[in-house]
Amino acid sequence: MQRAARDALGGNNGSVVALDPRTGDIIAMYSNPTYDPNVISANQGEEAVDVKTLLDAAPSKPLLSRAYQERYFPGSTFKIVTAAAGLTSNKVTETTPDYPVVQSYTPPLTTRPIKNFDGNLCGGTLFVILQKSCNSSFAQMAAETLGPDPMIAAAEAAGFNDAPPIDLTRPATSVYPTNFGSLVSTPEGAAPVYEDTPALAQTGIGQNDVAATPLQMALVAAGVANKGRIMVPHVMSEIRARDGAVVGSYADSPWRDSMSPENAEILRRGMISVVTDGTASILALPGFDVGGKTGTAQLGLDPPQSHAWIIAFAGPTGQAPTIAVAVMVQGVDGASGSTGGRVAGPIAKQVLEAALMPG
C-alpha cells in the first residue's frame, strides 16, 4: 500500500494518508518531496550531521512529513465538519434549511461576498449542497445557522486543536479558531453575530484560520465511516526484542466521538451521494460503497494557486467501510471548483483500488 500511495502521488508535492477506520491502523502514509534516509544513516559523525543540515535547509523541507507534520487550508473537505456541527446542534437536518440558490453569500458586518466557484448558482438542502460543494450555503450555515459555539465544538470533537496521539514524532496540531470577538447582536431566528462573524463564515468552507494535516482530514472521513468514532491512529502493531519476543503491542482504542452514530449515518449517505451525484464522481468503484468530499483551498496568490484535496472512505457494498483516505496536492496552478476532484481524485482512486481490489 505504501508503494501504491507513492506511485499514485507521483511527482506531485503533497501527501497521501490511508487508514482502517475501524481500528486506526495506518496502511499508507506518503509525503513528497521525500529523502533517502540511508544518506544519513550510512554516514558517521560529522558527515551525517552535514547531510542532515543540508536537508534541513532545503526550501522543500523534505524532513517534514506533509502527511502529519505540516498544516494546510483544508478547503471544502472541511464542509464535512461544518455539516456535522449543523447535525449535532439539531439546527440542520437532511431537509432543512433549504439554502437559497445564489452566486454568493455576504456575511453580517462585511460587504465582501463569499462566492461560489466560477460564479455558479448553488443552494439547497444538505445533500445537494454537499454534492455541489456550495460555498454560499456552508458559509451561511456557519455564520447564521450555527454561530461559533457549535462550530468550535464540532471541530474539536473531530480532533482539531489537539495533537493526534499517533506513534510518530512531533505530529502537528490541526487548528480551528476559538475566538470570534465580542458579541455584536442577537438577531431573531439566527445565530448571534460577533465581531469576527465574517471570519466565521470563511471557516465554514475551510478557509481563514482553519489549518489541517492530511492525517487529520483522513480521521474526519474515518469518523463518518466508523459511526462517528475516531480511533487512535497508529503505524506500529507490536514491538519485538532482538530475540523476536513481543515486548509491546498496540490495542485498538478510541480517540474521539466526532458525532453520534445517527448523524454519522446521515453524513455517510451524504458523502456517498457526492460520489454518485456530485463532485467526487471520479471515485466510483463497482461493487463498493464509496463516499467522498473534494476540496480546493485557494491560496490568494496571483496567478491563482490552490491546494487540491479529496477525502474518502470505501468498503464492499452494504458493509462497513474498510479504508479512509485523504489526499492533498500542494500548490496546484489555478483554482476552480473542479480542482480537487480533477487533481487529487485520480490519486485517491488508485489508492482505493490498491486496497480494495489488490492484484
DSSP codes of every residue in 252-294: --EEEE-S-HHHHHHHHHHHHHHHHHSTTGGG--TTEEEEEEE
Kindly name the residue from 15, 31, 65, 76 that is annotated as catalytic.
76
- Strand intervals (E) in the chain: 14-19, 26-32, 99-102, 104-105, 114-115, 122-124, 183-185, 193-194, 229-231, 238-240, 246-249, 254-257, 288-298, 305-316, 323-333
Distance CA 291, CA 311 (A): 8
Residue 225 parent element (H or E): helix 214-225
Catalytic status, residue 76: yes
From CA 342, how far away is CA 305, in angstroms rounded?
Answer: 14
Place of cell 482504542: 253
| Catalytic positions | 76
